[in-house]
A and B are shown apart, each in its own frame.
Chain A
Amino acid sequence: MSASLEKGVRVLKEMIDAPIASYFNSCVHCGLCAEACLFYTETGDPKYTPIHKLEPLRRIYEQEYTLLGRLKKVLGLSKPVTDAELGEWQELVYNSCTLCGRCSLVCPVGNDIVYMVRKFREGMAISGHAPEGIVEATRRTVSTGSPMGVTMHAVKAQMKHVEEETGISIPLDVEGAEYMVLLSSMEIINFPEYLSAIARIMKHAGKTWTLCSTGFEATNSGIQIGVSDLAKTIVSRIVEGAERLKAKTVISPECGHAYTALRWEGPNLIGRPFTFKVQHILEVLDELRSQGLLKTEGFETDRLTFHDPCQLARRGGVIQPQRNLINMVAQNFVEMPDAGKMNWCCGGGGGVTAIEPAEALRIEAFKKKKSQLEAVKPDRLVTACAVCRTTLEEGLEHYQMNIPVVGLTEIIAEHLPEQGA
Chain B
Amino acid sequence: MNELQFLTWVRGTGLNIAVGIFLLGVLWRLIEIYSLGRKKDLAAPRHVAGASGWHTMFRRSVPPAGMLKRSPVSYIGGYVFHIGLAIVVFLFAPHIKLIESLIGLSWPGLPSQFIDLAAVVTMAAMVVVLVDRINKPVKRYLSTFEDWFTWTVTFLPVLTGWLAVRHLLLPYTTMLALHILSVEILLVVLPFTKLFHAFTLWGSRYYNGAVNGHKGVPV
Contacts and interface: CB of A to CB of B under 8 A. Distances in A.
B141 A49 contact: yes
Given A109-B201, A264-B43, 8 more contacts: A18-B35, A25-B29, A25-B204, A35-B71, A46-B137, A46-B141, A67-B32, A271-B42
B186 interface: no
A342 B64 contact: yes
B209 interface: yes
Given A29-B194, A34-B138, A110 B67 contact: no
B34 A32 contact: no
B154 to A, nearest CB: 11
Interface in A13-56: 16-23, 25-32, 34-36, 40, 44, 46-47, 49, 51-52
A264 B215 contact: yes
A26 B142 contact: no
B217 A111 contact: no
Given A267-B43, A338-B66, A110 B217 contact: no
Interface in A301-341: 314-317, 319, 337-338, 341
B90 to A, nearest CB: 21
Q: Which of B32, B63, B140, B201 has the largest count of A CB atoms less than 10 A from its CB?
A: B201
A: interface residue count bin:
35 or more
A104 B60 contact: no
A67 B205 CA distance: 24
Interface stretch (A3-11, A272-280, A389-397): A272-280
B147 A29 contact: yes
Given A30-B78, A32-B71, A315-B217, A109 B205 contact: yes
Contact of A106 (B34, B67, B139): B67
B131 to A, nearest CB: 14
B49 to A, nearest CB: 13
A267 B42 contact: yes
A18 B78 CA distance: 26
B206 A110 contact: yes
B166 interface: no
Given A27-B194, A46-B142, A21 B64 contact: no
A122 to B, nearest CB: 13
B44 A110 contact: no
A65 interface: yes
Q: Which of B36, B74, B138, B142 has the largest count of A CB atoms less than 10 A from its CB?
A: B138
Interface in B47-89: 48, 51, 56-57, 60-61, 63-67, 70-71, 74, 78
A52 to B, nearest CB: 6
* Chain B at the A interface: SS class: helix
Contacts of B38: 17-19
B77 to A, nearest CB: 10
B205 A30 contact: no
Contacts of B67: 32, 35-36, 106
Interface of A: 16-23, 25-32, 34-36, 40, 44, 46-47, 49, 51-52, 65-68, 104-112, 115, 263-268, 271-274, 277, 314-317, 319, 337-338, 341-342
A26 B219 contact: no
B: interface residue count bin:
35 or more
A105 B64 contact: yes
Contact of B137 (A44, A272, A317): A44
B42 A110 contact: no
A110 B46 contact: no
Given A32-B74, A267-B44, A315-B215, A51 B32 contact: no
Contact of B44 (A20, A115, A273): A273
Contacts of A47: 141
The 5 closest A-B pairs by CB, nearest first: A110-B205, A317-B216, A46-B141, A31-B138, A267-B42
B32 A26 contact: no
A22 B203 contact: yes
Contacts of B216: 317
B9 interface: no
A107 B219 CA distance: 10
A29 B33 contact: no
Given A30-B139, A49-B138, A112-B207, A22 B34 contact: yes
